[in-house]
Chain A
Amino acid sequence: MKQNKFMITLISIMFGLIIGGVVLLIAGFNPIEAYGIMLKGVFGNPKYISWTIIRSTPLILTGMSVAFAFRTGLFNIGAEGQFIIGSLVATLVGYFFKLPPVIHPIVAILAGCLAAALWAGIAGLLKSKFGINEVITTIMLNWTALYFSNYVVFWDKFKRPNRDASQKILESASINILGKWKTSEAGKAFLKTNTFLKDLLNPPLNYGFIIAILVAILILYILKHTTLGYQLKAVGHNKYAAEYGGINIKKNIIVSMMIAGALSGLAGATQVLGVSRETAILAAMEGYGFDGIAVSLIAGNNPIACIPAALLFGGLKYGGGKLQSTIGAPLEVINITIGVIVFFIAMPKLIKMMTSFKVRKRGEKVESIK
């Protein structure tokens, strides 16, 4: 059964790549050359792999955020806004608090998670108390978060003069791997002799990826082995049956939204502490949360599967970007190609249908494929 699921995903990816290639071809670009550049752009150098991981880290977490809420039957479109709140609060703590190294990022991350959890909790509360659809509230909260963040960044104690961004976080709040050592004399001297490590560490590689993996395991554990997880899933499967079974639905909706929010907030916090180091004034949403929806779809709402799904998505985005300066493909064509690939990957149902059709023709039982 597992084998089958894996095969179906692989076939979907193949289909996606082929159709994506057709799109490139229609736009007048050589798909083989383009895929070659993308592959080289992701695996060609240790630092490209680092960049792909950096690019994917927030997507793992926002993907898990969407997937987790979905397990409880909630559609969390608000990952974007929760991401913004998480990054804003992490920046505030990272800049205003003066704490010793190790403790500082932990406090900043926890604060970011908590704030985003409360933010998402608003949508959960409205859903459970008044039955307001969470799709609508989370979308509206996205915009509220965006403008709230911009408003806070404009605060003159926080805004960096002549930049449309906040102050940078203090060095003690950074979660970069060997961040200080990298720029120290000893570090530079050592890295000169070791090109592999030098390339690998050149991008702002950070602990966010490791945190994301640990959290994925934790989430899987919560879902599989705890009462809370059982209750959340029960509400997702059939909320009336769950209520009949004595599960408090209202409480579980709020808890589920809050955990989903905390995950997105964690994505925002690690992005700030590890990569951007500041909160910029946003003209539009950056798309980490929305990409998270795609990642969750690819992963079939499985928290662990979000890791490879996000790596694939991040790799496509990072590698795809290289097509612009090399073969001159416009960003629009690249994004359409990526969209088509993701579309196909997220449609294992179609592939499943096709394979089951084949089986049926042979006169076997359809159930065998499931």
Chain B
Amino acid sequence: MKKKLLSLLLITVLVFSLVGCGKKAETPVDTTDEGTEAPETETAEEIKVAMVTDEGGVHDQSFNQSAWEGLQQAEKDLGVKVSYKESQQDADFAPNFESLLDEGNDLIWGIGFKLSDAVMDAATANPEQLYAIVDSSYGDNTPENVVGVMFKAEQPSFLVGYIAGKMTKTDTVGFVGGIAGDIIWGFDYGYQAGVQYAAKELGKEIKVLNQYAESFSDVAKGKAIATQMYQQGADIVFHASGDVGNGVIEAAKEQDKWAIGVDRDQNDLAPDNVLTSAIKRVDLGVYYVTEELKKGDFPGGKTITYGLEDGAVDIAPTSNKHVPEEILKSVEDLKEKIINGEIKVPYNEETYNEYLETIK
């Protein structure tokens, strides 16, 4: 018996190794093929752009994926060559930037504010190399070879807040944040401002429940917080909390209440329960900067903030599924007002208090 087993094992291993050898013999043909092709493309003075993701990877259904889509679009339209490198742990950031540097990329992106330190380190160590970072700003300290790309997240948050305020039947809505900080505050205060704007229009008071999950990944916590909010009477909950929001949407589905998605159109997660989404088009931001690079005027040394006027933030296109026509119409009017500066959407506590004064 034992002998039989052994010989069986041996045979499988042998077969495997034979397959390995057989296939390997074919491969040199491939390499020579590529070898002859490669020089032709090299001569065309190609622009190479690459990006480093955080642990989410390029299939994170969120900003990493969006950024990669932007780069792929740029490859199609502008003829630049693009690639990416995913990080499996924080310690990967620095070596990833270095590998991409060695591969001769013209521009290297860091996606997400987690990478801002790594981009800064790489940029100061290699002043000749161009870098860009999404969702982070170094303010006046931005090196000449770096551009920061930010989004006016408060603007779409204001719009979804307005929709929530108009549509709530219980006069209570909720907000679930990820980790408190400048970025998430933009969502938070923009949303509250939108709700108050609607409340004023309707001449009633609307309560906003507000809680932070202190995580961008804890799905269970998101679900627990949202469930609690629904039990406290909220019928619409907006989240700006990455994966935590999947829990929020799940809670909405279970309790048959509304949730509002973030970053991308999250309606596909719960078609009957996601009212709308506050969209941040990271892909457009990445695309615009890459386009500038191709044109030869890289906007180094500053932070570019994209907003409604660039079409880089918006509400989800599927909003018309659940939101009544007339509300969407007034949303369009609000967009106009935000773009021409009539409404100044707040993005932190200070500006929010100023804003409250103006609508009194």
Q: Interface residues, chain A, CB within 8 Å of chain B?
A: 15, 18-19, 21-22, 25, 30-33, 41, 45, 47, 51, 55, 150, 154, 161-165, 202-204, 271, 275-276, 280-281, 283-284, 286-287, 318, 321-322, 324-326, 328, 331, 350, 353-354, 357
Question: Which of B83-91, B307-315, B318-326 is near enough to bind chain A?
Answer: B83-91
Which of A165, A276, A283, A354 meets B216, CB within 8 Å?
A: A283
Given A276-B91, A321-B99, A30 and B30 contact (CB-CB distance below 8 Å):
yes
Pairwise interchain contact A163-B10, C-beta atoms closer than 8 A: no
Could you tell me the distance between the alpha carbons of A41 and B100 in the complex, rounded to whole angstroms? 12
Least Cβ–Cβ distance between B322 and chain A, in angstroms:
31
Which of A25, A324, A357 meets B86, CB within 8 Å?
A: A324
Question: Which of B18-26, B333-341, B349-357 is near enough to bind chain A?
Answer: B18-26
Chain A hits for B23, CB < 8 A: 21-22, 25, 31
Residue of B nearest to A204 (CB): B94
B181 CB-CB contact with A under 8 Å: yes
Q: What is the 8 Å Cβ interface bit string for chain B, positions 147-191, against chain A (1 contact, 0 not)?
A: 000000000000000000000000000000001011100000000
Pairwise interchain contact B113-A162, C-beta atoms closer than 8 A: yes
Which of B91, B98, B179, B216 meets A275, CB within 8 Å?
A: B91
Chain B hits for A331, CB < 8 A: 57, 86, 88
A22-B19, A45-B102 are known; give 5 further A-B pairs, CB within 8 A. Answer: A18-B16, A18-B21, A32-B28, A163-B117, A286-B88
Could you tell me the distance between the alpha carbons of A154 and B218 in the complex, rounded to whole angstroms? 15
Chain B hits for A322, CB < 8 A: 99
B69 CB-CB contact with A under 8 Å: no
Chain A hits for B83, CB < 8 A: 324-326, 328
Residue of B nearest to A286 (CB): B89
Size bracket, chain B contacts:
35 or more
Could you tell me the distance between the alpha carbons of A353 and B10 in the complex, rounded to whole angstroms? 9
Could you tell me the distance between the alpha carbons of A21 and B21 in the complex, rounded to whole angstroms? 10
Q: Looking at chain B's contact residues, is the secondary structure mostly helix, strand, loop, or mixed?
A: helix
Residue of B nearest to A25 (CB): B23
10 CB-based A-B contacts, threshold 8 Å: A18-B24, A21-B23, A31-B24, A31-B27, A51-B95, A162-B183, A163-B114, A281-B215, A286-B88, A325-B85
Least Cβ–Cβ distance between B46 and chain A, in angstroms:
15
Chain A hits for B100, CB < 8 A: 325
Could you tell me the distance between the alpha carbons of A164 and B88 in the complex, rounded to whole angstroms? 16
Could you tell me the distance between the alpha carbons of A31 and B20 in the complex, rounded to whole angstroms? 10
Least Cβ–Cβ distance between A14 and chain B, in angstroms:
9
B210 CB-CB contact with A under 8 Å: no
Total A-B Cβ pairs within 8 A: 121
Residue of B nearest to A45 (CB): B102
Given A163-B113, A321-B99, A283 and B89 contact (CB-CB distance below 8 Å):
no
Residue of A nearest to B20 (CB): A18
Pairwise interchain contact B179-A164, C-beta atoms closer than 8 A: yes
Given A30-B30, A271-B91, A276-B90, A203 and B84 contact (CB-CB distance below 8 Å):
no
Chain B hits for A286, CB < 8 A: 88-91
Could you tell me the distance between the alpha carbons of A336 and B132 in the complex, rounded to whole angstroms? 31
Could you tell me the distance between the alpha carbons of A204 and B50 in the complex, rounded to whole angstroms? 23
Chain B hits for A202, CB < 8 A: 98, 125
Could you tell me the distance between the alpha carbons of A331 and B59 in the complex, rounded to whole angstroms? 11
Least Cβ–Cβ distance between A92 and chain B, in angstroms:
18
Least Cβ–Cβ distance between B355 and chain A, in angstroms:
22
Which of A164, A324, A350 meets B85, CB within 8 Å?
A: A324
Chain B hits for A154, CB < 8 A: 214
Pairwise interchain contact B95-A203, C-beta atoms closer than 8 A: yes
Chain B hits for A328, CB < 8 A: 83
Pairwise interchain contact A284-B55, C-beta atoms closer than 8 A: yes
Chain A hits for B9, CB < 8 A: 350, 353-354
B42 CB-CB contact with A under 8 Å: no
Interface residues of B in 25-81 (CB under 8 A from A): 27-28, 30-31, 34, 50, 55, 57
Least Cβ–Cβ distance between A224 and chain B, in angstroms:
33
